[in-house]
Amino acid sequence: MKIESVDFFYLSMPEVTTEADGSQDALLVRVSAGGYVGWGECEASPLTSIAGFLCPMSHGVCRPVRDSVLGKPLDSPADIARIAAEVEYNSMDLLQAAHTFSGVEMALWDVLGKAKDTPVWRLLGYSASHKKTPYASQLFGATPEETLRGARKARRDNFRAVKFGWGPIGRGSVQDDKDHLQAAREGLGPDGILLVDVGQIWGEDVAAAEARLPALEASGAIWLEEPFHASALEAYGQLAKLSLKVKIAGGEGAHNVSMARHLIDYGGIGFVQIDCGRIGGIGPAKAVADYAVERGITYVNHTFTSHLALSASLQPFAGLADHRICEFPFAPKALARDITANFLQRDTMGEIAAPDAPGLGIAIDMRALQKYLVDVEIKVAGRVLYATPELA
């Protein structure tokens, strides 16, 4: 097969707010090759990612992602790896390239799995797709009472694990954060798995993070996620040595394998969280999962949007029986829910697994997406480089 076309679709909710919710817009990627169609999703600014695919070349290593993709053979995982290497080299000075290619790469795996009538996780070398324990990923409430209600609702919805993140946490006093953590624990009950994400709120301020450790320990939190900027390795390493009971988690900001490895080796994290829509796709995420196994670190997916992204994010560690916890988009915006015609259903124990179906095993709901489609045209020197394609 040869890659015949790559189409991007910019989708958005009618109103996008400053809320830290990545499901308010989306960039879907459609790849056609050999009579098959695959789908992927970029976790990045849609317009800049489209530009990264087709922008005019600045010089030899600042080429559009398109130059390394279109017309290339697609018959095996090795072909995807070769394309990824070309993108990495030819677009090394195009900083959006990793985000742009992430959605394309997912779609390439989807096409290849459909062509070979096998799930992506089998193409990655796994013999089984093991069940995972999904955690309901949601924002902290504006008040501890709202956090309490959110935790109770998650338990009623049969989630054993819940992650609270962002919102007011880290912005007020230590006591304010303690109140939210206590509310979360009360709502989850004594046996619920509590995970905490502070969204890089403390920059590189180790003392601010350390001040919250007693409250985190008292609430029984399993991890503290992204206390610092993604590249603040020294701060991560210092906090990891101070936090003996609550492990540090991070990695969603990694847009290449080396960044993730450095967080493991120098940042001392106990959980590495990889977003296939940012790191360059499924292949690089699998490389991080392999590295995590070698280093005794737990691999976790990161996804907060659609079930297309969720399925893609499960593939890199589907075959790891001991790496069980996974992020699950608990309360996404309507756009993210409407992207797919089918969903990853939780079983009676509340668990999920990567689909045992060709490719990513997810179908796109074309009709539902029409109302979210943003009409865009990119024109340079009078020439149209991009116009919103037909979604049908």
Report whether 320 contacts 293 (CB < 8 A). Answer: yes
Give the chain's mean pLDDT: 95
Mapped onto helix, strand or coil, the DSSP state of residue 133 is: strand
pTM, full prediction: 0.94
At 22 the pLDDT is: 81
Q: pLDDT of 132-149, one tens digit each?
A: 999 998 889 999 999 999
At 23 the pLDDT is: 84
Q: pLDDT of 170-179, one tens digit each?
A: 999 999 999 9
- Could you list the beta-strand ranges (E) of 202-338: 221-225, 247-250, 271-274, 298-301, 325-329
Identify the sign of the CA torsion 64, 66, 72, 76: positive
With a cut of 90, say whether residue 101 has pLDDT above it.
yes
At 330 the pLDDT is: 80
With a cut of 90, say whether residue 320 has pLDDT above it.
yes
Report whether 294 contacts 104 (CB < 8 A). Answer: no
**3-state per-residue secondary structure call for the chain:** CEEEEEEEEEEECCCCCCCCCHHHEEEEEEEEECCEEEEEEECCCHHHHHHHHHCCCCCCCCCCHHHHCCCCECCCHHHHHHHHHHHHHHCCCCCCHHHHHHHHHHHHHHHHHHHCCCEHHHHCCCCCCCCEEEEEEEECCCCHHHHHHHHHHHHHCCCCEEEEECCCCCCCCHHHHHHHHHHHHHHHCCCCEEEEECCCCCCCCHHHHHHCHHHHHHHCEEEEECCCCCCCHHHHHHHHHHCCCCEEEECCCCCCHHHHHHHHHCCCCCEEEECCCCCCCHHHHHHHHHHHHHHCCEEEECCCCCHHHHHHHHHHHCCCCCCCEEEEECCCCHHHHHCECCCCCCCCCCCECCCCCCECCCCECHHHHHHHECCCEEEECCEEEEECCCCC
Domains assigned to the chain: 3-119+365-387 (3.30.390.10), 123-338 (3.20.20.120)
With a cut of 80, say whether residue 196 has pLDDT above it.
yes
Report whether 234 contacts 206 (CB < 8 A). Answer: no
For the segment 40-65, the average pLDDT, to the nearest whole number, is 95
Which tops the pLDDT comparison, 314 or 332? Answer: 314
Measure the CA–CA gap between 4 and 102, rounded to whole angstroms.
Answer: 18
With a cut of 80, say whether residue 21 has pLDDT above it.
no
Number of other CB atoms surrounding residue 386 within 10 Å: 19
Residues written for the chain: 392
With a cut of 80, say whether residue 321 has pLDDT above it.
yes
Which tops the pLDDT comparison, 185 or 333? Answer: 185
The strand pair at 377-380 and 193-197 is best described as unpaired
When pLDDT is cut at 50, 70 and 90, the band that residue 24 belongs to is confident
Q: pLDDT of 330-369, one tens digit each?
A: 878 889 999 999 999 999 888 999 999 999 999 999 999 9
Locate 391 and state its tokens: 């979604």
At 138 the pLDDT is: 87
Q: pLDDT of 229-280, one tens digit each?
A: 999 999 999 999 999 999 999 999 999 999 999 999 999 999 999 999 999 9
